[in-house]
Chain A
Amino acid sequence: MTRQQTHKLAVAVITIVAAIVVIPIILVIGVVFWNGLPALSWEFLTQPPTNGMREGGIMPAILGTVLLTFGTAIASFPLSIAAAIYLAEYAGDTRLTRWVRMAIVNLAGIPSIVYGLFGLGMFVLFFGFGTSIVAGALTLGILTMPVVISTAEEAILSVPQEFRTVSLSLGATKWQTIRHQVLPNAMPGIITGIILGLGRAAGETAPILFTVAAFYLPELPKSIFDQTMALPYHLYVISTQVPGMPLEIQYSTALVLLLIVLSLTLVATLVRTRMRRRREW
C-alpha cells in the first residue's frame, strides 16, 4: 500500500468512527421523540397520575422538578457568583487560590450518588430538614456550583482590562469597578452558567433519591419542608418499579424531561452566542 492509499484509508476509517459516535446521539433523541410524542397531551401535562400511575398525567412530577430547579438556583447562585468574582478579580497566584481551584475540580468530579449521601447526612439528618424540597435544593445547589463558578469566572475574565483601568483611573474603587463595570458586562456569560447549572440539576436523579424524591404523591407540596415527586425519579420509578406500566407513558415522561433539560441548554447556548456576536470591543 502506498502512503497515499494509507492516508485515504485512514481518513475513511476516521470518518466512519465519527459517524459511529454521532449517529446514535441523533437516534437516541429521535427515538424518544418518535415514541413519546403520540401520548403527549395537555391532560398528560396537567393531570396527576391515577390508577397506580398507569393512567393520567405527570403534573406533580413536572411541578416538583420546576420547584426544585428554582430552589437550586436560590441555593447555588449567590455563593457561586461571589466565588467566581473572588477567583477572577481578587485571587492572586497564592497557595490558597490553588487550593480553591483544586476544590472546584474535585467538586465537579464527585459522583452524583455521593452528593446524595452527603445531602442525606447533612441536610436531611444533621440539620433535620427531613426528606424535603429544602434538602434536595441545597444538595443540587452544591452540585451545580462548579459549573456556575467556572462559567461565571470565564465571563468576568473576558471583560477587557481597559474597562477596569478606565474606571479605576476615574477614582472608582475596586468594588465599584466590579459592581458597575465588570459585572454588567459579564452578565450574559454569568447567566449562561446559571442556566447550564440548572439544566444539569433538573435532570439529576441520584442526588434527589434520598433527599427529596417521593415515589408517588399525587397532592402538591404545601411547604418547602415537604417531599415532592420529580421527573427524573418518576421516570425511574415507572420504568423499573411499576409492573404493567404502558410504554407510551414512559416514553412521554422521558420526552418531557428531555425537553425541559435540552431547552435549558439551548437557551444557555443562545445567550452565549448572542453575547459573542455583540462583543465588538
Chain B
Amino acid sequence: MTTAGNESGDKRTTGGGLRTGEQVRWGERVIETIIKLAGVSVIVIVTLIFLFLLKEGLPTFLDIPLRQLFGRRWYPIEGMFGLVPLLVGSLLVTVGAVIIAVPLGLITAIYLGEIAPPWLREILKPIIEMLAGIPSIVLGFLGWVALAPLIQRMGAPTGLTAFTGSLILAYMALPTIISISEDALYAVPKEYRDGALAIGATQWQTIWRVVLPAARTGIVIAVMLGVARAIGETMAVMMVTGNAANIPKLGPGMFFSPVRTMTATIAAEMGEVAQGSLHYSTLFGIGIVLFLVTFAINSLAARLVGTGGARRTRRGQL
C-alpha cells in the first residue's frame, strides 16, 4: 500500500484527538449504535417481507377450503384456486433444470479445477461469470424467439414446454453450481490426491474415487442452491413454458408438455386482478409458498456450509 494514504490518515486521527475524550466517546457510541442497527435491519427486512406476504396473502389459507387449494383446477375466474397444477409445473421445470444443470456444472467444475490448463481456465471463468450477469429476460427472449422454434422443429407439438424452461433455467443455475462445486473440490486436501496418485491411481481414478466423495457435502449444497434458484425464476420461465395450467400425464413425455409455474402465475395475473379479491390474495398466497420453500432450502444449505462441507475460504485467500 502507498505510504501517502497512511500519512494523511495519521494526520486526521491526530486532529480527532483534539476533541475531549468525553465528546469522542459519546459520538462513538452513537455511531456504533447506528451501525449495529444497520446490521440488525437485515433481519427486520426479511421479517417484514414475510409479514407483508402474510398480510395480503393470509385470506387464501383462511377463506379457501384446503380441499380446494389442493384441487387440480386453477380457474381463478370461476373461483377455482387449485394450486396443484402450479406446484406440478414448478416441480417439473425445476427437476428438469437440476437434472441438466448438476451433472454439467459438476463436470465443468472438475474440468476447471483438475484438467484445464491455467491459461484456458483464466479465459473460461470470466465467460461463466458473464453468464451469471445476463438478465433473465434476455435469456427468456432468446428462448422465445430462437430456442422454442428449434425445439418445435425437433418434433414436439409446441416449442413452449417444461423442457424449454428447464434448459434455460439450467444455464441460469450453472454459474452458482459451478462456483460452489469448485469451492468444494478445492477444499479437498491436496494430501488426498497425492496419496491416491502415489499408490498408482490414474488422475481419473483419483477424481472419481477420492476427490468426489470427499467433496460430497459441497456438491449437495450446490444441488440445493440450484433448486432454490430454479424454483424462484420468473421471467424466462414465463416466456417459454407455455403457461398452461394443466397437469401433464406421468411419464417422460411430461417434460415436453406446456406447464405453468407458480412464479409465472403471479407475474402474469397480478396485473389483472382487483386488489383485495380472493384471486389477488391467492397470488400472494403462492408468494408465501415460494418464500417458505426457498427459505427452507437456503437455511438448510447455509447450515451445511457452516458444518464445514464446502469451506469457503475466500476470506483467508484475499
**A contact residues vs B (CB 8 Å cutoff):** 3-4, 6-7, 10-11, 13-15, 17-18, 20-22, 24-26, 28-29, 31-32, 79, 82-83, 85-87, 89-91, 96-97, 99-118, 120-122, 125-126, 142, 145, 149, 154, 157-158, 167, 170-177, 180-181, 184-185, 199, 202-206, 209-210, 232-233, 235-236, 239-240, 247, 250, 254, 257-258, 261-262, 265, 269, 278-281
Known: A117-B56, A262-B130. A103 touches B45 (CB 8 A): yes
B145 touches which of A26, A89, A106, A239 (Cβ 8 Å): A239
Closest to A280 in B: B1
Chain A residues touching B, majority SS? helix
Question: Are A82 and B24 in contact, with the CB atoms below 8 A?
Answer: no
CB neighbours (8 Å) of A113 from chain B are 232, 234, 263, 266-267, 287, 290
CB neighbours (8 Å) of A154 from chain B are 314-315, 318
**B40 contacts A by Cβ under 8 Å:** yes
CB neighbours (8 Å) of B191 from chain A are none
Q: Which of B1-32 contact A (CB under 8 A)?
A: 1, 5-6, 9-10, 12-14, 16-17, 24-25, 27-28, 31-32
Measured between C-beta atoms, what is the minimum distance from A11 to chain B in Å? Answer: 6
- The answer for the CA separation of A140 and B148 in the assembled complex, in Å, is 30
Measured between C-beta atoms, what is the minimum distance from A262 to chain B in Å? Answer: 6
- The answer for the CA separation of A110 and B296 in the assembled complex, in Å, is 11
Question: Are B42 and A83 in contact, with the CB atoms below 8 A?
Answer: yes
- The answer for the CA separation of A89 and B115 in the assembled complex, in Å, is 39
CB neighbours (8 Å) of A232 from chain B are 135, 137, 235
The stretch from B81-89, B151-159, B197-205 touching chain A is B197-205
Closest to B57 in A: A117
- The answer for the CA separation of A236 and B231 in the assembled complex, in Å, is 20
Measured between C-beta atoms, what is the minimum distance from B203 to chain A in Å? Answer: 6
Question: Are A205 and B145 in contact, with the CB atoms below 8 A?
Answer: no
* Tally of contact residues, B, Cβ under 8 A: 102
**B228 contacts A by Cβ under 8 Å:** yes
Question: Are A239 and B134 in contact, with the CB atoms below 8 A?
Answer: no
Measured between C-beta atoms, what is the minimum distance from A37 to chain B in Å? Answer: 15
CB neighbours (8 Å) of A180 from chain B are 9, 12-13
Question: Are B137 and A109 in contact, with the CB atoms below 8 A?
Answer: no
Mark each residue of chain B from 289 to 318: 1 if its CB lies under 8 Å from any CB of chain A, else 0: 011001101110110000000000011001
Q: Which of B141, B171, B203 has the most CB of A within 10 A?
A: B141
Question: Are B234 and A22 in contact, with the CB atoms below 8 A?
Answer: no
CB neighbours (8 Å) of A173 from chain B are 16, 24-25, 28
Measured between C-beta atoms, what is the minimum distance from B98 to chain A in Å? Answer: 15
The total number of A-B Cβ pairs within 8 Å is 293
Question: Are B204 and A22 in contact, with the CB atoms below 8 A?
Answer: no
Report 9 cross-chain contacts, Cβ distance below 8 Å, ordered by A residue.
Answer: A100-B40, A111-B232, A113-B234, A117-B266, A118-B52, A121-B52, A172-B13, A206-B234, A261-B134
Mark each residue of chain B from 124 to 145: 1 if its CB lies under 8 Å from any CB of chain A, else 0: 1011111101111111111011
Question: Are A110 and B291 in contact, with the CB atoms below 8 A?
Answer: yes
Question: Are A107 and B45 in contact, with the CB atoms below 8 A?
Answer: yes
Measured between C-beta atoms, what is the minimum distance from A60 to chain B in Å? Answer: 17
CB neighbours (8 Å) of B140 from chain A are 236
A258 touches which of B116, B135, B208, B231 (Cβ 8 Å): B135
- The answer for the CA separation of A105 and B306 in the assembled complex, in Å, is 12
**B99 contacts A by Cβ under 8 Å:** no
Known: A15-B111, A82-B38, A112-B234. A279 touches B1 (CB 8 A): yes
CB neighbours (8 Å) of A10 from chain B are 204, 207-208
- The answer for the CA separation of A278 and B266 in the assembled complex, in Å, is 47
CB neighbours (8 Å) of A254 from chain B are 138, 141-142
Question: Are B53 and A121 in contact, with the CB atoms below 8 A?
Answer: yes
**B252 contacts A by Cβ under 8 Å:** no
Question: Are A181 and B9 in contact, with the CB atoms below 8 A?
Answer: yes
Q: A111-B231, A117-B287 are in contact. List 7 more A-B contacts (CB 8 A).
A: A22-B108, A28-B142, A100-B43, A103-B43, A114-B290, A117-B52, A257-B137
Question: Are A114 and B49 in contact, with the CB atoms below 8 A?
Answer: yes
Question: Are A105 and B111 in contact, with the CB atoms below 8 A?
Answer: no
Question: Are A122 and B48 in contact, with the CB atoms below 8 A?
Answer: yes
- The answer for the CA separation of A133 and B228 in the assembled complex, in Å, is 29
Question: Are B36 and A109 in contact, with the CB atoms below 8 A?
Answer: no
Known: A25-B131, A79-B41, A106-B299. A236 touches B104 (CB 8 A): no
CB neighbours (8 Å) of A29 from chain B are 130, 134
